[in-house]
Amino acid sequence: MIKKTIFFIIISLIILIPYHFRESIKHASIFDLKKIVFSNVKHYKFSELLEKVHQEEKKSIFDIDLYEINQTLLKLPWIKKVVITRILPDTLKISLEEHKIKGVVFIDKLYYYGNDYKIFLKISYSDIGDYTIFSGLNIDFYEQSHSEFINNISEMEMLRDLAKTILPNEFEISEIHKTLFRGYEIIFKNSRGKILLGFDSFEDNLKKAKDILNHFNKEKKEVLLIAFQEMKESDSAVVKLKKGGINE
């Protein structure tokens, strides 16, 4: 309560007194910046952030350009939002919101993308972890039509989730690739082959793929490819085995 009272007294004085006195008060040593506090930080060290927002010694808290600090921090890949508050007499509080990884997309290079479907960090294959790579799009497509990019990624996310619920657990998905003319490819980890689904009948084709994979697993034969394209009217699929045999 005492702190709030002092705060309001100071603000009232600053507002009511003449300009030149007001400027003198604003630059009194009591208002020299002494502390910068960061909150909600996971991917950066305090020293890194402090270096980015470095301010001159004995600089009045009122002379600090909050917009400049905001824009400087937003250039850091993990930072999504910045809120800066002056806490009188001598402290800056900087609250950060970092991007949350929603997935991995390959558009000329590998990137994390966030909940807003915007890419925010270029990564290497060692950073992928358990995420599925979504590929088949390019950077021009991303930059020119973000809404279409969202639609494409959302469809691939749906396909990934559907495949995980239907296909045998031992077939872990590494990548879902959108081709120009043949539909979607589901590529498995550890070179365990792929499924070419076409552009529709995803659930039906995945169920057929499950039966095919289980069938050849029992025969101890490794499947390299199951292809459903151009077979929408048929209950069959083209299957390529590791030994080079093709079965229908």
- How crowded is residue 152: how many other Cβ atoms within 10 Å of its Cβ? 19
Q: Which of residues 23 and 66 earns the better pLDDT score?
A: 66
Residue 122 lies in a domain: no
Calculate the average pLDDT of the chain: 87
Q: Kindly state whether residues 71 and 140 are assigned to the same domain.
A: no
Q: Which domain holds residue 229?
A: 132-247
Please say which residue of 50, 82, 98 terminates a domain. Answer: 98
Looking at the 3D structure of the chain, how many domains does it have? Answer: 2
Residue 117 lies in a domain: no
Residue 223 lies in a domain: yes
Q: Kindly state whether residues 148 and 47 are assigned to the same domain.
A: no
Q: What is the pLDDT of residues 107-146, one digit of tens each?
A: 989 999 999 999 999 999 999 999 999 999 988 888 888 8
CATH code of the domain in which 228 resides: 3.40.50.11690
Q: What is the pLDDT of residue 192?
A: 83
* pTM reported for the whole predicted model: 0.81
At residue 234 the predicted structure's pLDDT band, cuts being 50, 70 and 90, is low
- Could you tell me what percentage of the chain is helix, strand and coil, using 3-state DSSP and rounding each to the nearest 5? 35, 30, 35
Residue 119 lies in a domain: no
Residue 225 lies in a domain: yes
Residue 107 lies in a domain: no
